[in-house]
């Protein structure tokens, strides 16, 4: 099961979809107005991601290479429709606040990216864990953005008032510009942390931005494109999938 934990670690830290791969930016910026929305969106995406990774991995020998994209989309869209109806039926309040972004999970780059770069080339079990890792990474990213935005923009976390009553909320942080400010600050922060780890000589999960693909990486000659990533071809495909 070592491979599986490696996949989860990869999704959460090394190739975190929000902070390192920069995939799925549309829901990241749009729905993270509060922490609960971030968690809701993240978990819905995780559910779709796990199921679609599993099914695509099962079907990977059947799907012809030339029509793999439409096939993936059909699989993903079916699961998104299921999640859409489930949310509408059981958590209508969350469904209302996420709105259009639930159907838009179909075109989320992470899901298609993982299907293309991982699930279509790997066995079922690792693919499932890849989906869990990526989904959790996305959830963590969205929730942390949501917490910061809700805290500054409304003085609350998960709907509970944490700031004193005299606190004047910075309304801009729950509006669209705030999403960009918070995302930029959090990405800068995690790059800083990773760089500090590198300076201390600890093993670094990945160089800042390295997960985005070796093709655009300035130091690919040093690492040869395969030292950090066991399956280096996946990164190149990733960008096409995005």
Partner 1 sequence: MNENYKVSSSPHIRDKIKSSNIMLLVVIALLPATIFGIWNFRHENAWILVVVTTAAAVLSEYIYEKLMHKPVTVNDFSAVVTGLLLALNLPPTLPWWMGVVGAVFAIVVVKQLFGGLGQNFMNPALAARCFLLICFTGQMTYFVYDGVTGPTPLADLKAGEAVNTMNMLIGNIRGTIGETSVIAIMIGAMFLILMGVIDLRIPGSYLISFVVFIVIFGGHGLDPQYITAHLCGGGLMLGAWFMATDYVTSPITSGGKILYGICMGLLTGLFRLFGGSAEGVSYAIIISNLLVPLIEKITLPKPFGKGGEK
Secondary structure of the chain as H, E, C letters: CHHHHHHHHHHHHHCCHHHHHCCCHHHHHHCCCCHHHHHHHHHHHHHHHHHHHHHHHHCCCCCCHHHHHHHHHHHHHHHHHHHHHHHHHHCHHHHHHHHHHCHHHHHCHHHHHHHHHHHCCCCHHHHHHHHHHHHHHHHHHHHHHHHHHHHHHHCEECCEECCCCCCCCCHHHHCHHHHHHHHHHHHHHHHHHHHHHHHCCCCCCCCCCHHHCHHHCCCHHHHCCCCCCCCCHHHHHHHHHC
Closer residue to partner 1, CB minimum distance, 19 or 173: 173
Please choose, out of 53-61, 66-74, 173-181, 210-218, the segment that lies near partner 1 by the rule CB under 8 A.
Answer: 173-181
Q: How many CB atoms lie within 10 A of CB 114?
A: 30
Segment near partner 1 (CB under 8 A); pick from 6-14, 47-55, 76-84, 167-175: 167-175
| Per CB under 8 A, 233 contacts partner 1 | no
Nearest CB to partner 1, comparing residues 185 and 215? 185
In the set 26, 74, 175, 215, which binds partner 1 (CB under 8 A)? 175
Toward partner 1, which CB reaches closer, 9 or 181?
Answer: 181
Could you tell me which stretch among 6-14, 164-172, 203-211, 214-222 binds partner 1 (CB under 8 A)? 164-172
Interacting residues of 179 by C-beta distance below 8 A, sequence separation 6+: 28, 29, 30, 32, 145, 149
- The residue within the footprint of partner 1, chosen from 5, 93, 171, 219 (CB under 8 A), is 171
The contact pattern for partner 1, residues 180-219, with x = CB under 8 A and - = no contact, is -x--------------------------------------
To partner 1, the closest distance from the beta carbon of 169 in angstroms equals: 8
- Minimum gap (Å) between residue 195 Cβ and partner 1: 15
Q: Per rule CB under 8 A, is residue 74 in the interface with partner 1? A: no
Q: Which of 170, 186, 220, 237 binds partner 1 (CB under 8 A)?
A: 170
Regarding 168 and contact with partner 1 (CB under 8 A), the answer is yes
How far apart CA 59 and CA 162 sit, in angstroms, is 48
Provide, rounded to whole angstroms, the least separation between the CB of residue 36 and partner 1: 23
State the residues that interact with partner 1 by CB under 8 A.
168, 170-172, 175, 177, 181
């Amino acid at each position: 099961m070592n491979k599986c934990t490696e996949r989860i670690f990869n999704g959460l830290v090394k190739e975190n979809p929000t902070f390192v791969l920069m995939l799925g930016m549309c829901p990241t910026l749009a729905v993270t107005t509060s922490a609960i929305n971030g968690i809701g969106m993240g978990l819905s995406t995780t559910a779709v991601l796990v199921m679609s990774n599993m099914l695509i991995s099962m079907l990977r020998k059947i799907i012809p290479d030339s029509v793999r994209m439409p096939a993936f989309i059909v699989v993903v869209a079916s699961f998104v429709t299921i999640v859409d109806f489930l949310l509408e039926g059981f958590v209508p309040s969350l469904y209302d606040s996420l709105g259009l972004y639930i159907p838009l999970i179909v075109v989320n780059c992470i899901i298609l990216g993982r299907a293309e770069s991982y699930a279509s080339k790997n066995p079922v079990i690792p693919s499932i864990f890849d989906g869990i890792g990526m989904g959790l990474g996305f959830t963590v990213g969205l929730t942390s953005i949501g917490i910061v935005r809700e805290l500054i923009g409304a003085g609350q976390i998960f709907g509970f008032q944490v700031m004193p009553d005299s606190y004047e909320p910075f309304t801009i942080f729950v509006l669209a510009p705030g999403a960009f400010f918070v995302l930029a600050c959090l990405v800068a922060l995690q790059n800083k942390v990773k760089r500090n780890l590198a300076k201390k000589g600890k093993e670094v999960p990945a160089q800042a931005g390295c997960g985005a693909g070796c093709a655009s990486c300035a130091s690919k000659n040093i690492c040869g494109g395969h030292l950090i990533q066991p399956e280096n071809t996946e990164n190149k495909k990733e960008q096409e999938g995005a």
